[in-house]
A and B are shown apart, each in its own frame.
Chain A
Amino acid sequence: MSKTVEEQVIAIIAEQALMEPQDVSPEATLEDLGIDSLGLVEAVFAIEETFDVSVPFNANEPAESEFDITNVRSMVRAVEQLVAQKADTGT
């Protein structure tokens, strides 16, 4: 069975955090996980490559970007939406 979006996003975040995916809590923030700005940029890149989507994210002001990086759950939801939008437009 193929992995869900949630599983894949968590795997990407876990890789940046140097943790096992099962240890990544949905409530964890990037700070909790020890992911710095470079790690976040790499994670966004990995998400775009994995799902073939474009993530609205500006490294200058990560908190101001449309991409909600409040915690792991918010990022998973945001990616799920991007994937759904992609399916809707067929692109």
Chain B
Amino acid sequence: MKRVVITGQGAVSSLGMSADETLAGMREGRNGIGALEFQDAERLSIPIGGQIKGYDPAARFSRQQITLYDKFTQFALIAAEEAIAQSGLEFTDSLAEQAGVVLGTAGGGLQTQDENYRSVYEEGKNRVHPFVVPRLMNNAAASHVSMTHNLQGPSFTVATACASSNHAMGQAFQLIRSGATRVMLTGGSESMLCFGGIKAWEGLRVLSRDGCRPFSANRNGMVQGEGAGVFVFEEYEHAKARGAQILAEVVGFAMTSDASDIVMPNKLGACRAIRGALRDGGLSTAEVGYINAHGTGTTANDRTECAAVRDVFGADADKLMISSTKSMHGHLIGGTGAVEMLACIMAVREGVVAPTINYEQPDPECDLDVVPNAAREADVSVALSNAFAFGGLNAVLAVRRI
């Protein structure tokens, strides 16, 4: 089996328009959640989100590009460009033929759907722009990344709700590990912060009106975010031969299905995914220093996730750190695991563990070291990223310092 390393990272989130800015926000424990600003926001009962403010698409893309790029595609392209630039790779000849892109998203071009439903239903128009379909399709982001960077290998989109990005990165990992390809762009993007996107979530009544406080006893729900994270996954010998800067090694991946409930999390499914990732990576529980939690800030997730970690890690659960960076950038749904992978890489590469901010009251049902409110320096050799989606689909990745 081939070894797989990460040689580039890119991101956009409400913490910043690059991986570096997003990581700076995580180090500072900055709150990227604020008032939602878009058409009809005053008709929502949920007033907050991790919205990217002050973003001007015209400063990044041409008019012709914008007619084809929904925001979730724009975010993916910005993150991909940053990741590729850092990797130093050029996609020509046989590398271009092999390299592909697999991205996660849950909503796809939801902004495009929202705008055009408004136009035909509310405004009564009978004609829509010719590119509505290519703009809204779930594979638009992956396809545009492949076209922009000449990636001609395996490319597709993974949609497993809140686990989409982790499932996507898992696919990229396995494609390289098996020898099918040497380089994959992978991660995910999401842009659900529009009237219809939030209105739909309001119906479930799991969103907080006042803030994201994972693991804190006074938490009262999740807060949505938007953005993208994209990474360059590369076969280790290929990266070494060209003298690439290696950020971390991807060592383990597992996916499981709860097969029980469409929205309620299930401890057994989570346990099996965490154990599976450790087994896949040949890792012991004692090696894991940090877990980037799914940590949504709902009562059910946080309690179930902590119980799962206790079950899997036993006494070692008290030696590891587990934080939810969603407290800062919100829940990016299909893009969330990608932005959160940054925190895992930072932990193993820089020895800095991102905090869980807004932590106010201990909860006996979440009695782990959740790195409350301030980032911490620590020697972490292995980090896990948890993602437990609606629909009971779980995906856990393990990365190691190299």
Q: Is B259 an interface residue (CB 8 A)?
A: no
Q: Is B300 an interface residue (CB 8 A)?
A: yes
Task: Name the residue of chain A whose CB is nearest to the CB of B206.
Answer: A59
Q: A60–B298 contact, CB under 8 A?
A: yes
Q: A60–B206 contact, CB under 8 A?
A: yes
Contact of A59 among B204, B219, B261, B262 (CB under 8 A): B204
A-B pair number, CB within 8 angstroms: 29
Q: Is B315 an interface residue (CB 8 A)?
A: no
Residues of B within 8 A of A37 (CB): 263-264
Q: Is B63 an interface residue (CB 8 A)?
A: no
Contact of B220 among A38, A44, A45, A60 (CB under 8 A): A60
Contact of A61 among B220, B261, B262, B263 (CB under 8 A): B220
Residues of B within 8 A of A58 (CB): 205, 220-221
Q: A60–B204 contact, CB under 8 A?
A: no
CA of A60 to CA of B208, assembled, Å? 9
Q: Is B203 an interface residue (CB 8 A)?
A: yes
Q: Is A51 an interface residue (CB 8 A)?
A: no
Residues of B within 8 A of A11 (CB): none
Q: A45–B203 contact, CB under 8 A?
A: yes
Q: Is B165 an interface residue (CB 8 A)?
A: no
5 closest A-B pairs by CB: A59-B205, A60-B299, A60-B221, A60-B298, A59-B206
Would you list 20 pairs from A and B whose C-beta atoms are within 8 A, ordered by A residue? A36-B261, A36-B264, A37-B263, A37-B264, A38-B262, A38-B263, A41-B205, A44-B205, A58-B205, A58-B220, A58-B221, A59-B204, A59-B206, A60-B206, A60-B208, A60-B219, A60-B220, A60-B221, A60-B300, A61-B220
Q: Which residues of B contact A (CB under 8 A)?
A: 203-206, 208, 219-221, 261-264, 298-300
Q: Which residues of A contact B (CB under 8 A)?
A: 36-38, 41, 44-45, 57-61
